[in-house]
């Protein structure tokens, strides 16, 4: 039995691993996605993360493909009560991809579309995908508050917010009696640390905000399967992975290889266990395109790194150890 964790002040309890849905309808077709989702739930997983923009970056796609796959899976399995769906708004405006839009009208339009694709009448966790500096926080948070009060959304969260803007949003919510952001979804892993560590992490700890970071495997680099330039050629995430091809990246992989020998754990398991061990972290997000990958990721839940191993990884991935990824 997988022990669940409280997700900040959201009122949600989740398994300590969140399944990333960005690959559904992209690098995983619908039948494969169904198998992955089934394996995740069978392994004790509870929360599935997606967004309305997934996967608008693919030629011929317009966004919503991942939500559609998940909705078809929910309909096929015939029950909704044992899984939690997190999705996002704000990067797929009605004008297309990359239009950051968190106006009240945009949120109202987007949530209806997401609910329709997901084939459900509520979203467990609804994120502002990226901060919209052009729309007053009062308008954005007021729109989210109406969704919570109407029962369309159980809790709201912020993704890709700075500490200052998240703090400002909390003040606005508290001052107006609005639902507040109770979960943060930042980019965070052994190599991408500076945006979260420090003020943002401290704010989350002080305000009891749950944290479920994405890119826990650094777009696949921390799986260890990319060891040379040729390994990233013609791969869907190859352009991202190459950002880690530097002394710091190789140093982290070397440290992980040593810990893998000590523990018998795989590199993905070690990478996620390190994230899970950080103060204030609720659960990392990781995606999978095969059932075997899901089973490996779920096994990471039971891996506890020693204090010395965590310290070794901290030092290897520290920004001062080399150029930032």
Residues noted as catalytic: 54
Name the pairing type of β-strands 13-14 and 5-6: antiparallel
Sequence-ordered alpha helix ranges (H) in 177-266: 199-207, 229-232, 238-241, 247-263
Give the separation between CA 303 and CA 93, rounded to whole angstroms: 40
| Beta bridge pairs of residue 183 | 157, 210
Give the separation between CA 154 and CA 87, rounded to whole angstroms: 12
Among residues 80, 132, 86, 87, the alpha carbon closest in space to that of 106 is found at 132
What is the phi/psi pair of residue 194, to 5°?
Answer: -65, -30
Give the separation between CA 243 and CA 80, rounded to whole angstroms: 39
Among residues 317, 193, 220, 313, the alpha carbon closest in space to that of 260 is found at 313
């Amino acid at each position: 039995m997988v022990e669940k964790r409280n997700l900040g002040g959201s009122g949600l309890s989740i398994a300590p691993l969140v399944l990333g849905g960005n690959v559904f309808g992209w690098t995983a077709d619908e039948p494969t996605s169904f198998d992955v989702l089934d394996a995740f739930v069978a392994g004790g997983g509870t929360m599935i993360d997606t967004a309305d923009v997934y996967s608008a970056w693919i030629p011929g796609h317009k966004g919503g493909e991942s939500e559609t796959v998940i909705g078809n899976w929910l309909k096929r399995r015939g029950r909704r009560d044992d899984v939690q769906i997190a999705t996002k708004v704000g990067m797929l405006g009605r004008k297309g991809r990359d239009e950051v839009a968190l106006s009240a009208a945009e949120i109202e339009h987007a949530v209806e579309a997401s609910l329709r694709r997901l084939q459900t009448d509520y979203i467990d966790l609804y994120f502002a995908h990226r901060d919209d500096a052009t729309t007053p926080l009062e308008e954005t948070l007021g729109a989210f508050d109406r969704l919570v009060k109407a029962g369309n959304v159980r809790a709201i969260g912020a993704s890709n917010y700075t500490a200052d803007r998240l703090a400002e949003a909390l003040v606005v919510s508290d001052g107006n009696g609005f639902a507040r952001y109770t979960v943060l979804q930042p980019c965070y892993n052994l190599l991408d640390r500076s945006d979260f560590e420090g003020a943002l992490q401290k704010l989350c700890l002080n305000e009891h905000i749950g944290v479920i970071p994405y890119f826990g495997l650094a777009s696949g680099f921390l799986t260890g399967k990319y060891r040379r330039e040729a390994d990233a050629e013609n791969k869907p995430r190859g352009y991202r992975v190459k950002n880690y091809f530097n002394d710091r990246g190789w140093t982290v992989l070397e440290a992980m290889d040593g810990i893998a020998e000590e523990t018998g754990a795989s590199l993905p398991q070690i990478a996620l266990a390190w994230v899970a061990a950080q103060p204030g972290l609720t659960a990392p997000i990781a995606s999978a395109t095969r059932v075997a990958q899901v089973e490996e990721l779920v096994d990471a839940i039971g891996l506890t790194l020693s204090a010395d191993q965590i310290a070794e990884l901290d030092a290897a991935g520290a920004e001062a150890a080399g150029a930032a990824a």
